[in-house]
A and B are shown apart, each in its own frame.
Chain A
Amino acid sequence: MRGKVACIVSVCCMVLLLGFGTAFAQQEIKIGVLIPLSGSMAVIGENLQMAHDFAAKEINDAGGVKSLKGAKIKLIYADTRGDPKVGMSEAERLIVREGVSAIMGAFQSSVSYTSTEVAEKYQVPYLVPNSLMDQITERGFKYTFRVERKGSYWAKDQIDFILDMGKKTGVQAKTIGVVYENTDMGQSIAKAIRKLAPEHGLKVVLDEGYPPKTADMTPVVLKMKRANPDVVILNSYISDAILLMRTIADQRVNTMALLGSSSGYSDPSFVKEVGKLAEYFFDLTEWTTDLKHSPLVAQKNAAFKKWTKDHRDFNGGAAFCYASTYILYDALEKAASTDPKRIRDALATVKITKGPAMIIPWTPIEFDAEGQARGARMLVIQYRDGQRKSVWPANIASTAPVWPMPKWEERK
């Protein structure tokens, strides 16, 4: 009899211990991150991964999510290989197998487009830091949120910039060319430019989408040379950006301006590999390290630079991934739960005006009914001495633009 009692008591003790054990152990909040980590896009993916990791490390070092007893954020990465189908299956795996509370990703529009659908089905919030395809937030989804400005607005910003430069300098562009990788992202910008440019008196004289995995850019550049537009708007990933820039210089194609649309042209590899050829190149971007709107920009960039092994700066994509991790953190604090539905509701009502997320150049950070960040804006930089210097709009810019670009023959 006594033995039996002892037995029951000890079992009770064990149950209690175990119970307390779990209660006291630091909880983890699993967040899935979908990015391309292999193939030709791997270099971009790795850069974004560092930004996410850095934000998560800061958050966890500062005590985790306080409303969840200091629970740590655990990022679980899934490689999309840049493939929309793989994106879908990996999203499903993250939700069903890994049991993540929320997802961030997927960089490429086509992958974000398909993988958000999976998240919507499982009712898991999906925060898109970088993709710009309009339709991502135009399907009435309740669980998709996007920080980036829509692609069609990018085109508007680019046209505004071109017109503005014409007014300021008196050197007005009359014709325009658009050269892009023939993917969702490229088409989305090109489509908007085709529509907007004529409305503002700009004639589209070249509209050239080249297939992904193009080995030789010379045919495209020769076509550009013949069409001879005043300004060329370019949209490329990295390898094509490098090849295009080199070939444009080789063929001495002179324009008032070459204007990129971020992505490849904002990647650190671009300026590293094309070197001097990048001088005076304009790039529409979401972000740059010399922005003046908040001291956090310089502080956080310096911290990131110190933390990364190769001491790199944030680029736009990375800065948005960093900020997005903080936006999600803010929602977690508000939700005080790991339940996807409650995190979704918290995201829908965030209104962030302080904290590291403010490195992105607008306040407050909030989402409209579609899940699109309200007030998202773009800026233009120009490569000067190998640095990305913000030149437009004037109120947050650090440097005066050089417009038109000097001719190739006049450069040293």
Chain B
Amino acid sequence: MTGIIEAAVNGILMGGLYGLIAVSLSLIFGVAKIVNFAHGALLMVALFTVYWILELLKVDPYLSALLAGCFLFFFGYYFQRLFIEPILKREKDTAALTVILLTSGLMLIIENSALLLFGADYRTVRTAYTGKVWEVAGLYIMQPRLIGFVLSVVLIRLLEFYLRRTNFGRAIRATSQDREAARLMGIDDYRVYKVTFGIGTVILGFAAAFLTPFYFIHPAVGDLFVGKSFVIVVLGGLGSITGAFLGGLIVGLIESVGAQFINSAMVESLIFIVFIACLVIRPMGLLGKERE
């Protein structure tokens, strides 16, 4: 029984990080309707950013998130500005498909550039939190995971506050719901897209900072998370922030608890079974809006 509880705790903690990564994807998709296949590559960029900040400045990994965030905002902003925006402007009707092709291509370019720049070495950072464990009632809870989870929850609350309560946040929500109407309200839609993309990559920066104390960094590391993120986003409801986070927790739980009962090679299939079942019952995802 303890083993199952331990697995559930771990599933929730890890699921929080899956959720955070998926929230970023969901935000970008929800607002700009961009299916970003380069998401994993951007996570990798975020991980390397955090890695280099930690290596060069030797700051606390959680502090590095703020520094990385500043850089990554502009990275995301200009990623959208330089690569995706021209396509949205030029191809009004077929842009969705072209953007998928474009982001897939960019993923390969970014990953291979990282391979050239940083080599294929696996890197890890030994921080003050690495390998630290809290023993609570016979359960081992890994410190960096718990901290990462708590901060993820805080970050998502902040993001929701930003979207709900601030001027630009409202503009983002308005644009995500009806781009044309938003433009007629005087909102510069392309600016909203750029800022949203920037916010999305900032979130990835935080996810990277939460992962780094117990994870490894490698040009292909994004591949481990990206497939899962797409499942989570659809499960949670396209464009829903809370839904994506909830989806992350569910996938984390299934993965961790499921593996205690069946072979972990089968757990992936289990995730997809739950995923399909969810879509049959609620085609719009857990917290998605009904289409009008």
CB within 8 Å of B: which residues of A? 38-40, 42-43, 45-46, 182, 207-211, 213-216, 218-220, 222-223, 225-226, 238-239, 242-243, 246, 249-252, 269, 273-275, 277
Contacts and interface: CB of A to CB of B under 8 A. Distances in A.
A220 B215 CA distance: 16
A46 B118 CA distance: 13
B115 A216 contact: no
A275 B120 CA distance: 19
B140 A251 contact: yes
Most buried by A among B115, B220, B258, B265: B265
Given A39-B220, A222-B10, A209 B265 contact: yes
B122 A239 contact: yes
The 6 A-B pairs with the shortest beta carbon distances in the complex, nearest first, are A219-B259, A42-B120, A43-B120, A40-B220, A226-B3, A182-B265
A252 B138 CA distance: 12
Given A246-B214, A250-B142, A223 B260 contact: yes
A213 B223 CA distance: 7
B177 interface: no
B241 interface: no
B218 A220 contact: no
A13 B31 CA distance: 75
Contacts of A242: 122, 124, 216
B239 to A, nearest CB: 24
A220 B3 contact: no
A216 B263 contact: no
A208 B133 CA distance: 25
A408 to B, nearest CB: 10
Contact of A219 (B10, B123, B124, B219): B10
B265 A211 contact: yes
Contacts of B123: 273
How many B residues touch the partner, as a band?
35 or more
B6 A222 contact: yes
Contacts of B133: 250, 252
B267 A222 contact: no
Contacts of A42: 115, 120, 219-220
Interface string B1-31: 0010011001100100010000000000000
A340 B105 CA distance: 38
A218 B264 CA distance: 11
Interface in B197-243: 214-216, 218-221, 223-225, 227-228
15 contacts: A38-B115, A39-B223, A43-B120, A211-B265, A213-B227, A214-B264, A219-B260, A219-B264, A222-B260, A223-B259, A246-B131, A250-B214, A269-B121, A273-B123, A274-B124
B152 interface: no
B256 interface: yes
Contacts of A38: 111-112, 115
A211 B225 contact: no
A210 B264 contact: yes
A211 B264 contact: yes
A317 to B, nearest CB: 14
Nearest to A253: B140
A277 B126 CA distance: 12
B122 A43 contact: yes
B85 interface: no
A209 B10 CA distance: 20
Given A182-B265, A210-B264, A249 B124 contact: no
A209 B224 CA distance: 17
A218 B256 contact: yes
Most buried by A among B112, B119, B220, B268: B220
A239 B3 contact: no
B264 A239 contact: no
B216 A220 contact: no
A246 B216 CA distance: 11
B63 to A, nearest CB: 23
B54 to A, nearest CB: 15
B218 A40 contact: yes
B255 interface: yes
B122 A218 contact: no
A337 B46 CA distance: 53
Contacts of B223: 39-40, 213
A218 B228 contact: no
Contacts of A43: 119-122, 218
Contacts of B220: 39-40, 42
Contact of B140 (A39, A213, A252): A252
Given A219-B259, A219-B267, A269 B131 contact: no
B262 to A, nearest CB: 10
Given A208-B264, A239-B122, A251-B140, 20 more contacts: A38-B111, A38-B112, A43-B121, A45-B120, A209-B265, A211-B267, A213-B223, A216-B256, A219-B7, A219-B258, A222-B7, A222-B259, A223-B259, A226-B260, A239-B216, A242-B216, A250-B140, A252-B140, A269-B122, A273-B123
